[in-house]
């Protein structure tokens, strides 16, 4: 049996360019909890759910097209037992802001196995949703991601960063690049030329590693609970500079359009913050990020020159040593086509259940100026 070295496993994760699946390697007690256990722990606290449709929509179900609802966990469980055409999602909630006084939950979250003993519940987010609950396909520009499936099943669809999934910054949300492609109720023709797909269904006890900037679409196959933590990377300094450039442009657009257009351009969670950003504030942020990048790049060069790099097994050797760290195979074209067709076939009525917002001119303009290739070019010219 291979002796586990958390430091090697940490190195493997922080340098891997491929998603990795770990099956039944964490011994969290909460993997054994049922919905009644969660109900007992969460009590009568009202949770903020986002509600969408288990129906066909032409566009992805952006947050602006969903509704908000408050419900206790018990009420949520009752909802999941109905034949509703809606889904509910208590998504992306930091445990330092929710359930922070529930010791039984906090003590059951530990990332030491992967070499991160310093990370605790306060660093994690929790996701609680009914069947069909999902987030549109997107890229997270900061860090990489460890996701622990706690209850129920969740399907992950993943693509490498270089795959063209029609990136868009509308709706704008700092550090999220969305895809225009609708994976929940797909129009098959929109996916022509798309490949390199990985598909995995997470069961309770599974942990998925999502590399930096990998596209991912995530959908609950039944009532599901998951907990994740983001792992910072050296690349984050440069990513923050790029995000500051995007923010500069979007803020100028927002300051010169009407309220209806603002609602189209911005994700609801960004409306309050970006509305207060002045040009000078954006410029100041860019300069601050530039200075941080210069310092971090200088440190990296000095480190490389002095050869102050921890000597470890190379990635391929580590992968062989820790064979339980499973790479996720790429789908064939036929397998990917079958997945899309199965997603589509769930919805026989192709009448759009959510009214699409048509602001084509401003959408095209924002997407042209904030395209990742354009932002990377501007960043390189800043020196």
Per DSSP, the residues of 358-371 read: --HHHHHHHHHHT-
Q: Tell me the pTM.
A: 0.92
The CATH 2.60.120.650 domain(s) of the chain lie at 6-233
- 6-233 belongs to which homologous superfamily? Cupin (2.60.120.650)
Q: Which of 103, 145, 137, 140 is nearest to 121 (CA)?
A: 103
Segment 105-136, tens digit of pLDDT: 999 999 999 999 999 999 999 999 999 999 99
Segment 265-323, tens digit of pLDDT: 999 988 777 878 889 999 999 999 999 998 887 555 444 433 333 444 566 677 778 87
pLDDT at 4: 76
Segment 50-76, tens digit of pLDDT: 999 999 999 999 999 999 999 999 999
How far is it, in rounded angstroms, from Cα 328 to Cα 20?
6
* Beta bridge partners of residue 237, listed in sequence order: none
Q: 89: phi > 0 → left, psi -120 to 50 → alpha, else beta; which?
A: beta
Q: Could you give the C-alpha distances from 113 to 4, 33, 226, in angstroms and in order?
A: 8, 21, 18
pLDDT at 308: 34
Query: Residue 40: is its pLDDT beyond 80?
Result: yes
pLDDT at 358: 64
Neighbouring CB atoms inside 10 A of 192's CB total 6
């Amino acid at each position: 049996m291979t002796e586990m070295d958390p430091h090697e496993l940490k190195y493997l994760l922080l340098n891997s360019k491929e998603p990795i699946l770990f099956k039944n390697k964490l011994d969290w007690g909460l993997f054994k909890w049922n919905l009644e256990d969660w109900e007992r722990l969460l009590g009568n606290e009202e949770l903020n759910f986002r509600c969408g449709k288990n129906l066909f929509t032409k566009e992805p179900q952006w947050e602006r097209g969903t509704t908000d609802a408050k419900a206790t966990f018990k009420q949520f469980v009752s909802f999941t037992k109905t034949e509703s055409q809606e889904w509910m999602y208590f998504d992306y909630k930091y445990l330092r802001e929710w359930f922070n006084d529930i010791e039984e939950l906090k003590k059951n979250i530990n990332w030491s196995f992967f070499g991160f003993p310093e990370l605790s519940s306060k660093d994690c987010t929790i996701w609680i949703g009914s069947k069909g609950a999902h987030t549109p396909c997107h890229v997270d520009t900061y860090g990489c991601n460890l996701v622990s499936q706690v209850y129920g099943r969740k399907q992950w669809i993943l693509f490498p960063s270089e795959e063209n999934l029609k990136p868009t910054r509308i709706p704008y949300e700092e550090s999220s690049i969305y895809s225009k492609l609708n994976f929940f109720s797909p129009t098959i023709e929109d996916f022509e030329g798309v490949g390199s797909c990985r598909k995995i269904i997470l069961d309770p006890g599974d942990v998925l590693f999502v590399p930096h900037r990998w596209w991912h679409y995530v959908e609950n196959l039944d009532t599901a609970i998951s907990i994740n933590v983001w792992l910072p990377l050296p690349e984050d300094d440069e990513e923050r500079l790029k995000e500051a450039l995007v923010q500069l442009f979007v803020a100028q657009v927002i300051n010169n359009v009407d309220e209806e257009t603002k609602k189209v351009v911005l994700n609801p969670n960004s409306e309050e913050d970006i509305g207060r950003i002045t040009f000078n504030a954006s410029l100041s942020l860019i300069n601050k990020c530039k200075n941080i990048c210069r310092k971090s790049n200088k440190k990296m060069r000095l480190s490389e020159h002095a050869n102050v790099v921890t000597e470890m097994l190379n990635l391929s050797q580590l992968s062989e040593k820790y064979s339980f760290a499973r790479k996720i195979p790429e789908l064939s074209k036929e397998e990917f086509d079958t997945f899309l067709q199965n997603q589509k076939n769930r919805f026989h009525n192709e009448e759009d259940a959510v009214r699409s917002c048509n602001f084509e001119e401003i959408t095209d303009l924002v997407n042209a100026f904030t395209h990742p290739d354009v932002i990377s070019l501007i960043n390189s010219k800043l020196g």
